[in-house]
Chains A and B, each alone.
Chain A
Amino acid sequence: MTTQTLTAHYDPAVQGFTGLATMTMIRAFESRMPLLSEEGLIRGSTHPSVGMEAVATGVSLALGPRDTIASNHRGHAHCLARGSDPGRTMAEILGRVDGYGQGKGGSMHIGVKELGIIGTNGIVGAGIGLATGAALAAKQQGSDAVAVVYFGDGASNQGVLGEAFNLCAIWNLAVVFVCENNHYAQSASIEEMVAQPDLSQRGTAYGVKSVNVNGMHLDAVYEAAAEAVARGRAGDGPTLIVADTYRYLGHMAGDTEIYRSADEVQEWKDKDPIGYLARALEQQGVLTAGQFAQLEADAARVVAEAEAFARNSPYPEEFRAGTDVYEETV
């Protein structure tokens, strides 16, 4: 098997520093979403992931160029951490022609073929099946590529997950199931919707290696993901990673958030993944306060440029409404 060299263990100077830069950029990007929505530039719904940056970032750091990701409705961070261009990503969210889908997909349907992003998805558990297929394709093609699917605690209640666990386990498919347990399925709390709160037991029940990680800690996410990816590459089958995390903003722009208390939100903000990582890196001597300020300034600049690009990108011409329904053979 040929693979790129993976760092088996978390190195603060490598994954930590890079991860902090990525997380800071995602934070800046996602923080713009409610404002752009208020301004009327985003149609329909958009689902920011502020507070959850360590999961997408930690998992992406463990992936190689040929690996695949499938995502859900809250997928901007998954795409950005995987390397999607912030400008083209935001252009898609704003329905512009320079978006990855020419403005046809929007916030919930961002795909980037060259990065192995087989789509964010408006059906919260749909990526589970698609990633299973990507792993099946890798097996058929004799590749050691791994497929990651991100889904929430809400989607973990969809039936496809059990079917996928079983299929991946019997066929040793290289899928990393990343359950982002942010404690709410829209407004429904995990406590009310799940009788067995340890979601990792669901994977174990199907013969899928399953672990719980602190989803606010990049190092923990990265190490679990690197191990899962290595297992997948070696042909040893799927892994379920349940990452305990939290979204600081509402389910979508405009959410009144009447279903949770400000105290609860504050409690999680005190565990902020970016603040935690920055402090750790400073203590570990790989980051100075000045460097952190520079990372934040860089992130703000990248996102401002992305936004300018997206705002300046034209809306698609009307004829595009009828293209790409089928392969157009001439």
Chain B
Amino acid sequence: MTDDDTHDETATASVETDGGTVTDAAQQHRNTDYLQQEVNLLSPSTAFMRDHLRVVWTGFIAWALIVFGPVTLTAIAPETMTSITVPPGFPLHYFSVAFAGPTGALVLAFWYARKRDALDEKYGIDPSSVETSSQGGSGDTDAGDAAATDGGVEQ
């Protein structure tokens, strides 16, 4: 909940930061009313979104290379890609598409989730600060029997 709305007159032109100290970023976050800031993928309007999008685009470009790179190389230079073998006997084109591509995406996903959590930290955000029925966070494996009422109306 934004309970400390400081209505910045110049809300649209938010202050430029270069990722200062934690307190700076957190301070700035506190002074931003996110409901006043335009959302546009190509021109982020808040410091948080700028930081976030930097991570997003980095990941996206790496992902595109990992996913479409090997197959494109195979189309361009089939001889080279098929003649190189990777232990234990894969042709390189097969290995890079069947194994490296999907695995790369998994590693990237893990990297992104870590980065995004670090952003929360940088901006002094605590996801578990809102009342939820159970504490969020990794490793929460207990079956979520949240508000579902098992004894609903019998048909």
The reply to whether chain A is a binding partner of chain B is no
